[in-house]
């Protein structure tokens, strides 16, 4: 059992890090306020489906680098390929040969798309897609589902969240939101803002799934009103299908953004699209007004591109997606059986998504509860499972790992039941409850 006595180096780390790094991490989703107090403050290394903290405690990884590690930590074929590339240099005055190799193979992989631009993070890619859409349509406004947690750290998105301090107020009118479950709400946006919306950007699907023909209807609405549709495949890419929802549903967006798992954790993202749109960012259109698309010093770093190429190769040769779905379904079946046996079906919801099972935790009044959720996370972590309320299958996860998860889940249910009987987490939860990332105040 992992408790405070086994997390001494983590405690020391926490004391120092917030005085040097705002938020204590370089993405808010990894911050201390997202986890129970009894949890590792930092990770020292990872291998396959496991990670080790500063105190050498070992954990089954359920998040896999916030969904970015699709094959496994330090996955040897990827690591070896990267090592070879590192010996050749990583960044040059002109493009590297590997940029063309990656562009050819990635464009060939993505149905209906002709060109690609690379970036180091998802925000750069999504913001570039929005810029292209504005240039193509000569419109300024952008629409996206208000219930999606994240698209970009740029003002066009962040202004519409609770964390909008420091953003430009003009985006109150430029960025528009609709209900992703109701395409009529999107139609109303176009009616209320005629000939003003450049694009709609959305995730193609969530863990809850989408109705039949939803994506095609969404694209049709956009095109009917002269707007482009941008498919954000950051999460869904290499998970729902290979390459993603674009192939699973056979719906071709005007632009698509890719990242997370496409390079097995290395910093590599991409924007793909139709030539007539993407080419606005080119330099061979003599006399045409230039669109300053993505221009990033590190976008063509060779080692990250090699990681992406090797990851793509493995996905093509192995039944990776099939394995991910098999592990996800096994975990769903195991946890549902435990909840039924424990009579906890009404208090812990399982979203049965085989590529990303999600869990929601309720209190004794059947209300979603940050406190009860944090208690469950704490108990899983104590038992060597670094759990944040969802499970991201990777190629390294095996049936034995799912069994380990299920064992910890069952034992955590026992503590959760105690809290329900007491009608409080007091005396069981150590420290405060985890908080929402997008909140107005700390």
Q: CATH number, domain at 19?
A: 3.90.1150.10
Say if residue 224 is in the same domain as residue 259. Answer: yes
Q: Residue 314 falls within a domain, yes or no?
A: no
Q: Distance (Å, rounded) from C-alpha 105 to C-alpha 215? A: 26
Say if residue 57 is in the same domain as residue 96. Answer: no
Domain termination site, one of 266, 300, 334: 300
Question: Distances in Å between the alpha carbon of 21 and those of 13, 18, 24, 158, 441?
Answer: 12, 5, 5, 21, 18
Please name which of 413, 114, 81, 57 lies closest in space to residue 279, comparing C-alpha atoms.
114
Per-residue exposure over 241-276, b if at least 16 CB sit within 10 Å of its own CB, e if not: bbbbbbbbbebbbbbbbbbbbbbbbbbbbbbbbbee
Outline where DSSP puts E strands in 55-186. 58-61, 115-119, 141-145, 175-178
Q: Distance (Å, rounded) from C-alpha 435 to C-alpha 321? A: 32
Domain of residue 381 covers 4-74+319-422
Say if residue 197 is in the same domain as residue 346. Answer: no
Q: Distance (Å, rounded) from C-alpha 276 to C-alpha 286? A: 15
Q: Residue 432 falls within a domain, yes or no?
A: no
Say if residue 365 is in the same domain as residue 280. Answer: no
Say if residue 235 is in the same domain as residue 371. Answer: no
List, run by run, the mean pLDDT of 10-residue segments along the chain (442 residues).
94 97 96 97 99 98 98 99 98 98 99 98 98 98 93 95 95 97 97 99 95 97 99 98 98 98 98 98 94 95 99 98 99 99 98 98 98 99 99 99 99 99 98 95 95
Q: Residue 85 falls within a domain, yes or no?
A: no
Q: Pairing between strand 385-386 and 255-258?
A: unpaired
Question: Tokens standing for 369?
Answer: 């509860």
Say if residue 269 is in the same domain as residue 371. Answer: no
The pLDDT value recorded for residue 4 is: 85
DSSP for residue 389: S
Say if residue 62 is in the same domain as residue 171. Answer: no
The pLDDT value recorded for residue 169 is: 96
Q: Which residue has the tokens 């609709």?
A: 178
Q: CATH number, domain at 112?
A: 3.40.640.10
Say if residue 248 is in the same domain as residue 103. Answer: yes
Helix (H, G, I), strand (E, B) or coil at 177: strand
Q: Residue 308 falls within a domain, yes or no?
A: no
Length of the chain: 442
Domain termination site, one of 300, 335, 352: 300
Domain termination site, one of 241, 266, 300: 300
What are 133-159's pLDDT values in tens digits? Answer: 999 999 999 999 998 889 999 999 999
Q: How many Cβ atoms are within 10 Å of 286's Cβ, its own excluded?
A: 5
Say if residue 283 is in the same domain as residue 347. Answer: no
Query: Do residues 7 and 55 lie in contact, with contact meaning Cβ atoms separated by under 8 Å?
Result: yes
Say if residue 120 is in the same domain as residue 268. Answer: yes
Query: Do residues 368 and 437 lie in contact, with contact meaning Cβ atoms separated by under 8 Å?
Result: no
Say if residue 347 is in the same domain as residue 405. Answer: yes
Say if residue 139 is in the same domain as residue 278. Answer: yes
Q: What's the number of domains the chain is made of?
A: 2
The pLDDT value recorded for residue 149 is: 83
Question: Tokens standing for 48?
Answer: 């396959």
Q: Residue 416 falls within a domain, yes or no?
A: yes
Please name which of 261, 283, 285 lies closest in space to residue 392, comparing C-alpha atoms.
261
Residues 76, 78, 83: CA angle, nearest 5 degrees: 90
The pLDDT value recorded for residue 85 is: 98
Q: 413 — phi, psi (to 5°)?
A: -60, -35
Question: Distances in Å between the alpha carbon of 217 and those of 175, 194, 220?
Answer: 22, 19, 5
The pLDDT value recorded for residue 392 is: 99
Question: Tokens standing for 49?
Answer: 């489906």
Q: Residue 435 falls within a domain, yes or no?
A: no
Q: Residue 433 falls within a domain, yes or no?
A: no
Q: 74 — phi, psi (to 5°)?
A: 50, 40
Q: Residue 36 falls within a domain, yes or no?
A: yes
First and final C-alpha spacing in the chain = 31
Question: Tokens standing for 205?
Answer: 């699907």
């Amino acid at each position: 059992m992992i408790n405070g006595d086994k997390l001494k180096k983590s405690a020391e780390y926490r004391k120092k890090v917030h005085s040097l790094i705002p938020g204590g991490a370089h993405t808010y989703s990894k911050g201390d306020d997202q986890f129970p107090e009894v949890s590792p403050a930092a990770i020292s290394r990872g291998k396959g489906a496991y990670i080790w903290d500063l105190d050498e405690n070992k954990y089954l990884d359920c998040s896999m680098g916030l969904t970015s590690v699709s094959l496994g930590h330090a996955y040897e074929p990827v690591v070896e390929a990267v090592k070879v590339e590192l010996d050749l240099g990583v960044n040059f005055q002109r493009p590297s040969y590997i940029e063309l190799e990656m562009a050819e193979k990635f464009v060939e992989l993505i149905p209906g798309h002709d060109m690609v631009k690379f970036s180091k993070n998802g925000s750069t890619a999504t913001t570039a897609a929005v810029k292209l859409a504005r240039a193509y349509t000569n419109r300024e406004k952008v629409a996206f589902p208000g219930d999606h947690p994240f698209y970009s750290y740029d003002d066009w998105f962040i202004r519409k969240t609770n964390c909008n301090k420091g953003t430009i107020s003009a985006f109150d009118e430029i960025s528009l939101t609709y209900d992703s479950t109701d395409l009529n709400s999107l139609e109303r946006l176009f009616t209320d803002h005629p000939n003003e919306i450049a694009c709609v950007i959305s995730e193609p699907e969530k863990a809850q799934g989408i109705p039949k023909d939803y994506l095609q209807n969404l694209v049709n609405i956009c095109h009917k009103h002269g707007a482009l549709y941008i498919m954000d495949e950051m999460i869904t890419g290499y998970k729902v299908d290979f390459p993603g929802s674009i192939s699973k549903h056979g719906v071709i967006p005007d632009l698509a953004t890719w990242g997370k798992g496409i390079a097995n954790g290395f910093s590599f993202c991409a924007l793909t699209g139709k030539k007539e749109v993407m080419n606005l960012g080119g330099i061979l259109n003599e006399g045409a007004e230039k669109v300053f698309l993505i221009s990033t010093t590190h976008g063509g770093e060779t080692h990250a591109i090699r990681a992406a190429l090797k990851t793509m190769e493995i996905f093509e040769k192995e039944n990776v997606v099939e394995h991910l779905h098999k592990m996800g379904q096994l975990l769903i079946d195991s946890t549902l059986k435990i909840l039924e046996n424990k009579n906890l079906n009404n208090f812990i919801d399982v979203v049965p998504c085989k590529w990303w099972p999600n869990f929601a935790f309720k209190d004794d009044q059947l209300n979603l509860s940050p406190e009860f959720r944090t208690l469950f996370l704490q108990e899983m972590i104590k038992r060597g499972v670094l759990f944040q309320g969802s499970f991201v299958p990777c190629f390294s996860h095996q049936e034995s790992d799912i069994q380990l998860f299920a064992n910890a889940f069952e034992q955590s249910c026992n503590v959760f039941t105690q809290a329900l009987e007491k009608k409080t987490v007091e005396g069981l939860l150590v420290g405060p409850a985890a908080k929402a990332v997008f909140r107005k105040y700390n």
